[in-house]
Structure 1
Amino acid sequence: MNTPPDRRTLAQAAEWFVLLASGEASDEDRCRWHGWLNAHPSHRLAWQRAEASVARLSGLPAAQAQAAAQALRQPPARRRFVGQLAALLTLGGAGWLGYRHSDHSADLRTAVGEQRETRLADGSRLQLDTDSTVDLDFSAKTRLIRLRRGQILIETATDKLARPFIVETAEGRIRALGTRFTVEQLAGQTRVAVLDQRVAIHAAASSDAPILGAGEAARFDRDGIRLRQTVDDIDRSWHRGLLVANAMRLAEFTARLGRYRTTPLHCADDIAELRISGVFPLADDERALATLTGALPVTLVRGADGDRLQARK
């Protein structure tokens, strides 16, 4: 079992992190950092804790991020940030673990109805769909994203350290092979849709690593792939803020749009099989519903337990 890092090690991790983030680290500094990182398992744990803490700042607007980077080049600001980061990292072990497993501890998260895009430290692009949470774990050997809930889009960047890019879910891991893809955490399954290039799927309880190519999608559980599909309009459009329906069942449309609303949205059973086609804005659900009720013989009824689509009388 790895020994938790002590205060001195955490302070060293904070110093290294701030030096590397300042952009002023020399090749010799990076070699010394690698030596420190690999000198003891507790050093790596301290570094991962520093990365997880600072990862929450990765969603800053570009202007603020640039200002922060410039400030780190000034010795006084650098010293202050080292102290602040070291203090954050020295949270008690039980308190830290409890915080890391709480929903609010996620490195990146979105509220219901929110979508968020960010550039990761390696230049990769990450977009979170509504009500999604992820943890980031970038080390000297691996670029890892843990998807706790929801759905994400990944567009990987070439990495100077040639580290593998992996997305981890409850059912296993997806390894990017220079690609753009989406991952969705479902109940007991993970769905992957490959938009460009390829990914390898490593189910938790399987030794196989089947590969999906561009245009392919699949659902898998801990034992392996359960359903192979093709990429559909939903896969290609949600990250552009759109719900594209092509003769979609109204029940499915209601369920998908409902994920972006804080008010529950229901569909009456007698209209569930009606079909709808069109392009609907996810960020403006009221406009989407107005378009829907204008296209189909249905009406929206507001209620204490949510809104309900039912047949127009």
Structure 2
Amino acid sequence: MSHPGDTNSHGNDSGENIEKCHSSELQAAMEWQIILWSGEVTPQEQQAFTSWLNASPKHQQAWQQLQQIHDPFSHIPSDIAGRALRASGPDTRRRQLLLGFVVLVGIGGSGYGIQRTSHWQAATADYTTRRGETRSVTLPDGTVITLNTDSAVDVTFTDSQRTLHLRQGEVMIATAPDRATVARPFMVSTRSGQVRPIGTRFSVRQYDDVAGSVLVQVLEGAIELTPRSSAGIRINAGQQARFDQHQVTLPTPVDMAKSAWTRGLLIAEQQRLGDFLAELGRYRVGVLRCDPAVASLVVSGVYPLRDTDQVLQALEQALPIRIHTLTRYWVTISAS
């Protein structure tokens, strides 16, 4: 296994190799790289990293691909690099951008390739949120967008179009009438297709799966949803649908629990523990692992997202489970 600071450049293959790995594994590898670069690694964190690396061949693949990137800090004294990483805390946009800079410099002539990847686009987007953070922004036309945890959007306004590019995560949108002399349609662009609102309030979530699926919920008004490779459909207020590049599911009633994040809540209604923890993990930094032996336990309740550690403690009191905390970045839930 390579270590931070090793040089192993593979020319123009780097951007392509990064895209081969599933984004969740690559995101975890990036976080571990930042922790190891910080210069403040405890023995427990080193053990947790080793456990993560050995837990799956996909983790090893993600780590190996990340190490193929030439380390620009090889030209900088290690104490200066460590101070730069430690200066802004463990989970800030500055670190995300610093990592993007590391990737760009490391691959030299193939910089264009990495700029086309979803990870680069998310790290350099106009508006972003960290894990566990939500953020509301009023756009120049009066439209209000609220980003959920670990989300990224770009905004492009031209003379003929208003476009929001969802690079990662989830966003709630309350559109406003265009105040330009010539009205410009509003559009949300995702990896799998486009969403055009019709005087509406709606949410769009880009899932981190192979199909690039997207969930759209319409709370007010209506939207026209058009996958890249198939005909579009109209979805009205009180409906939701999921789509990928090739197809759209039939509209179903809105599951209001899925938009509870806008109120700082995570709601479970007869939900598998494994699925609940996967959702909770979106709001935490590090690994949140569920033992398959307890993954089918049923969870119901309303949980505040401001403190995910308290949520875990509440689950431990309500269910026959035990929370094992190796470090702040590695938590395992198993049978009690």
TM-score normalized by the length of structure 1? 0.65
Inter-partner Cα distance in structure 2 for 1:228 and 1:130 = 25
- Answer whether contact 2:123 2:152 (CA < 8 A) is retained: no
**1:132 alignment partner in structure 2:** 151
Deviation at residue 247 of structure 1 after TM alignment: 1.4
* Residue 308 of structure 1 pairs with residue 329 of structure 2: no
* Residue 165 of structure 1 pairs with residue 177 of structure 2: no
Deviation at residue 195 of structure 1 after TM alignment: 1.2
Higher relative contact order (CA 8 A, sep 6+): 2
Q: Cα gap change, 1:303/1:98 in structure 2, threshold over 3 Å: closer, same or farther?
A: closer
Q: Deviations over 1:1-26 (max 9, x none)?
A: xxxxxxxxxxxxxxxxxxxxxxxxxx
**1:69 alignment partner in structure 2:** none
* Residue 220 of structure 1 pairs with residue 243 of structure 2: yes
**1:205 alignment partner in structure 2:** 229
Unaligned regions of 5+ residues in structure 1, if any? 1-93
Inter-partner Cα distance in structure 2 for 1:108 and 1:282 = 21
Q: SS of the residue aligned with 2:219?
A: strand
Q: Cα gap change, 1:175/1:99 in structure 2, threshold over 3 Å: closer, same or farther?
A: same
Q: Cα gap change, 1:97/1:264 in structure 2, threshold over 3 Å: closer, same or farther?
A: closer
Q: Deviations over 1:117-174 (max 9, x none)?
A: 1111111110111111111001121110001111111111121232211100011100
1:234 to 246, 251, 257: 257
Q: Deviations over 1:160-210 (max 9, x none)?
A: 23221110001110000111111111222111111111110011112x221
**1:122 alignment partner in structure 2:** 141
Q: SS of the residue aligned with 2:310?
A: helix
Q: Cα gap change, 1:245/1:212 in structure 2, threshold over 3 Å: closer, same or farther?
A: same
Q: Cα gap change, 1:271/1:227 in structure 2, threshold over 3 Å: closer, same or farther?
A: farther
Deviation at residue 230 of structure 1 after TM alignment: 2.5
* Residue 283 of structure 1 pairs with residue 306 of structure 2: yes
- Answer whether contact 1:250 1:272 (CA < 8 A) is retained: yes
Inter-partner Cα distance in structure 1 for 2:151 and 2:250 = 23
* Residue 141 of structure 1 pairs with residue 160 of structure 2: yes
**Worse-matched range after superposition: 254-263 or 160-169:** 160-169
- Answer whether contact 1:195 1:236 (CA < 8 A) is retained: no
Q: Cα gap change, 1:233/1:267 in structure 2, threshold over 3 Å: closer, same or farther?
A: farther
Deviation at residue 227 of structure 1 after TM alignment: 5.0
Query: Could you tell me which amino acid in structure 1 is paired with residue 273 of structure 2?
Result: L
Query: Could you tell me which amino acid in structure 2 is paired with residue 151 of structure 1?
Result: E
Inter-partner Cα distance in structure 2 for 1:98 and 1:135 = 17
Q: Cα gap change, 1:237/1:227 in structure 2, threshold over 3 Å: closer, same or farther?
A: same
Deviation at residue 263 of structure 1 after TM alignment: 2.3
Inter-partner Cα distance in structure 1 for 2:322 and 2:286 = 16
Deviation at residue 226 of structure 1 after TM alignment: 3.4
- Answer whether contact 1:266 1:307 (CA < 8 A) is retained: yes
Query: Could you tell me which amino acid in structure 2 is paired with residue 254 of structure 1?
Result: L
Query: Could you tell me which amino acid in structure 2 is paired with residue 171 of structure 1?
Result: S
1:181 to 179, 189, 202: 202
How large is the RMSD of aligned CA atoms in angstroms? Answer: 2.1
- Answer whether contact 2:196 2:225 (CA < 8 A) is retained: yes
Q: SS of the residue aligned with 1:225?
A: coil
Unaligned regions of 5+ residues in structure 2, if any? 1-109
Deviation at residue 289 of structure 1 after TM alignment: 1.2
Query: Could you tell me which amino acid in structure 1 is paired with residue 253 of structure 2?
Result: T
Whose radius of gyration is greater, 1 or 2? 1
Sequence identity percentage = 39
Aligned residues: 218
Q: SS of the residue aligned with 1:289?
A: helix
Query: Could you tell me which amino acid in structure 1 is paired with residue 214 of structure 2?
Result: T
- Answer whether contact 2:235 2:251 (CA < 8 A) is retained: no
**Worse-matched range after superposition: 141-150 or 291-300:** 291-300
Matches within 5 A, 1:54-65: none
TM-score normalized by the length of structure 2? 0.61
